[in-house]
Structure 1
Amino acid sequence: MAEFQTSMNLLGQLRQQSDQQAWERFATIYGPLVFGWLKRRGVREDVAEDVRQEVLLKVFHEIKGFDHNGRIGAFRAWLHQVMLHRLRTIQRKNIRSRLTESSDEANDDAAVADSGDRLAELWEAEHSRFLIERLIEMIAPEFQERTLQAFRRVVLNDEPIEVVAQELEMSVNAARIAQSRVLAALRREGAGLIEY
């Protein structure tokens, strides 16, 4: 699967802070990414939602100071650090105010926040997959389900196009056309949001 990076174009638009459409696109894509990533790591839903909201606010306030060093994944790594920092901050507040439901849950959340390097690797691995799945959801109404299935299986799951075409009862050429059409729609929808 191709790696997707947040585009410099989107980062530039976010820095302007007056571009409401750019912020809405960012929140639509990255809000669920942060929330889902935390939930899959065992963070309680209410804590994950608090972290999601605080991450979006933190990015809004600090994006002007973000210095992209030109390295692939710089924004993704910065966002991951913002997320972990916000999680730790919320955990400290919860511990102090005794808002956690149980000490086991507090310990589970703390383990997520403190396992740095391993979590950074998981974050990297899930980032591209999440972005493309989110964009597919956005373009799905434009396509028949079989077209999207062919794309997912060939492009995302690396299945041989001949096998996919046969199982979906379409020609290999039709599967290639489906792949091309979906990819074009993803590029259109992701324009300014991601770089391929």
Structure 2
Amino acid sequence: MTASPPETRASLILRLQDAADIAAWEEFAEIYAPVIYRTARRLGLQAADADDVVQEVLSAVARSVAGWLERDDRGAFRAWLFRIARNLSIDFLTRRKHRPWGVGGDDAEKHFDEIEAARDISSHFDEEVQREIFMRASAVVRSRVSDVTWQAFQRTAVLGESIEDVAADLGISKGSVYIARSRVMKRLQSVVKSRRDNSNDEV
């Protein structure tokens, strides 16, 4: 069974209200746990604390998603999830046993002011989601094309190797590399679009 790109489908969010829906929670965690972890690390947490934040965020979603769905002003799901991840990360940073600075707190206040001013953290969260989308869409497409086709795409479009070098190494023409790259790009776009057309991030 191939992986599917991680769009937050309305149906998935609705299923999260049921704590016993193991499949929904596994899918949700697979999509967002890596994103939450990397966001926590970017906010300054150590690896072990970032792992704890992931678990706390998932627990917070489980407790709050039903109430969030009932709100008329709820906005986008990802924005809500980011706020939870951000607030819990900052909470971890303020706990004495996790605090990496002096008891006086001046450095801590300065650090949190910097976090407040770091508007790119929110966009980083979205970038991380898009990264997960690409990685999982790639898993789908990778299973549907030949190894040579995938290598031609990955090495030129992702790794930045020259068309000439890749063609020579794979034993194919430069034209074949261009065709392979175009074919994979179209399939990636199709896989992502097919899920987006049936998803609604705001429910």
Scaled to the shorter chain, the TM-score interval is 0.5 to 0.7
| Alignment match, 2:171 | none
Answering whether residue 183 of structure 2 is matched by residue 177 of structure 1, we say yes
Report if aligned partners of 1:9, 1:192 keep a CA contact under 8 Å in 2.
Answer: no
**Largest Rg, 1 or 2:** 2
**How far 1:19 sits from its partner (Å)?**
1.9
CA RMSD after TM alignment: 4.2
Match of 2:64, as an amino acid? E
**CA distance, structure 2, for counterparts of residue 111 and residue 152 of structure 1:** 42
Pair 22,110 (structure 1): closer, same or farther in 2 beyond 3 Å: same
- In the superposition, the TM-score normalised over structure 1's length comes to 0.67
Match of 1:31, as an amino acid? A
Answering whether residue 127 of structure 2 is matched by residue 119 of structure 1, we say no
Match of 2:88, as an amino acid? R
How big is each residue's C-alpha offset from its partner over 1:150-187, in whole Å with a ceiling of 9 and x where there is no partner?
Answer: 16965x79x9xxx9765542343333333344455667
Unaligned runs of 5+ in 1: none
| Alignment match, 2:170 | none
Report if aligned partners of 1:165, 1:175 keep a CA contact under 8 Å in 2.
Answer: no
**How far 1:24 sits from its partner (Å)?**
0.4
| Alignment match, 1:77 | 79
Answering whether residue 27 of structure 2 is matched by residue 56 of structure 1, we say no
**CA distance, structure 1, for counterparts of residue 162 and residue 125 of structure 2:** 29
Identity %: 20
| Alignment match, 1:38 | 40
Pair 113,55 (structure 1): closer, same or farther in 2 beyond 3 Å: farther
**CA distance, structure 1, for counterparts of residue 139 and residue 111 of structure 2:** 30
How big is each residue's C-alpha offset from its partner over 1:118-146, in whole Å with a ceiling of 9 and x where there is no partner?
Answer: 42233233332233225535775665375
Pair 177,115 (structure 1): closer, same or farther in 2 beyond 3 Å: same
SS at match of 1:10: helix
Answering whether residue 134 of structure 2 is matched by residue 128 of structure 1, we say no
Match of 2:24 among 6, 22, 31: 22
**CA distance, structure 1, for counterparts of residue 163 and residue 11 of structure 2:** 37
Match of 2:184, as an amino acid? A
SS at match of 1:6: coil
Report if aligned partners of 1:150, 1:165 keep a CA contact under 8 Å in 2.
Answer: no
- In the superposition, the TM-score normalised over structure 2's length comes to 0.65
Report if aligned partners of 2:57, 2:84 keep a CA contact under 8 Å in 1.
Answer: yes
**CA distance, structure 2, for counterparts of residue 171 and residue 145 of structure 1:** 9
**CA distance, structure 2, for counterparts of residue 88 and residue 181 of structure 1:** 40
**CA distance, structure 1, for counterparts of residue 150 and residue 70 of structure 2:** 37
Report if aligned partners of 2:141, 2:187 keep a CA contact under 8 Å in 1.
Answer: no
Paired residues in the alignment total 182
